Amino acid sequence: METKKREINLDGLSSNLLNIILEFLDQDEISLLGATCKRLKLVSETEANRRKFNELVFIKGSTCEVLTLNLDSLLTTKHYDLSHKLFSFGSVYIPCNQSTFFYGGWTGTEYIGEAFLISKNKNIMQLPSGPPAGRISLTYYKNYIYAIGGHESSLSVKYNLTLNTWEECAPLNAISMLQTTCALITDNILITGYYFTKLMKYDINNESLDSIKNLTLNGHIFKNIFTVRCSVYIIEVRGNTYTNRSSDLSNWEIIGTNDLNNYSGFSHSVRYKDKVYFIQARQKLVEFNLKDKTTKEIKDL
């Protein structure tokens, strides 16, 4: 007897239910699901890439080596020595091609605007320089890298990965702090950092900046922010961990605390399996467990 294949239409399901479905699928099933559900095509491809990519590429600030951390073994592999010391740079992972983008930095005497891309195969490509920037925060959206904030600046520029050119964004005069951190949720960039007691939301399409009303943060500690599908997580160093799953970012809850040291500087965050990893202060690997919602330092790099 011939078995007929039947398409499953999931386009009518709510976002919350779709997220629950994604949580219990492996990467191959996620890819198949994206092929049958238009609403999930982009998020499923991104999620599949993130789950199978078990590396975090970073620059070790004390030695200026470009290293890869294997998230299974927690061992590092050295690839390059930078020609000069580089501190306080920004980085972001690009899931569509599994590359890592670096921008800005402090040489010890001045801020610089150097930019370069490290591919999945660990080839390094020097890119056109942007405005000088230190402790800048980066996020990826539709083939653009958005660079926001920075040390004592209100920088807002974007890098076109197709044309390899820098472009201006709407001025973000309110974003000036010691350490910026940002994350993407749908068409919005969420921004916070040291000195900030509010979470800011930058609408990419309308180029408008607003604050999230129902959340008050500690302004005198460093913070990291990242998203996992439609959920937002904010980790205050030596403070609270907040999350939000509502589409209007109104329903925040405290899900834990941590005893991380109050050091500045965060790498981009990478999700692998049921954990999110990032590097603090250029050398301390931090793990956030998505199941039990705990945050801890797990290794000095």
pLDDT score, position 22? 53
pLDDT (mean) for 122-143: 88
pLDDT score, position 62? 62
> pLDDT of 224-241, one tens digit each?
999 987 889 999 988 899
Beta bridge partners of 167: 158
> pLDDT of 172-199, one tens digit each?
655 555 667 888 888 899 988 877 788 8
pLDDT (mean) for 208-230: 85
| Percentage with pLDDT > 90 across the chain | 21
Q: What is the 3-state secondary structure (H, E, C) of 159-185?
A: EECCCCEEEECCCCCCCCECCEEEEEE
pLDDT of 11 above 80: no
pLDDT (mean) for 242-251: 83
Record the tokens describing residue 264, joined without a space: 């500045």
Question: Looking at per-residue confidence, does 290 or 28 come out higher?
Answer: 290
Question: Looking at per-residue confidence, does 94 or 11 come out higher?
Answer: 94
- Would you say 189 and 200 are in contact if contact means Cβ atoms under 8 Å apart? no
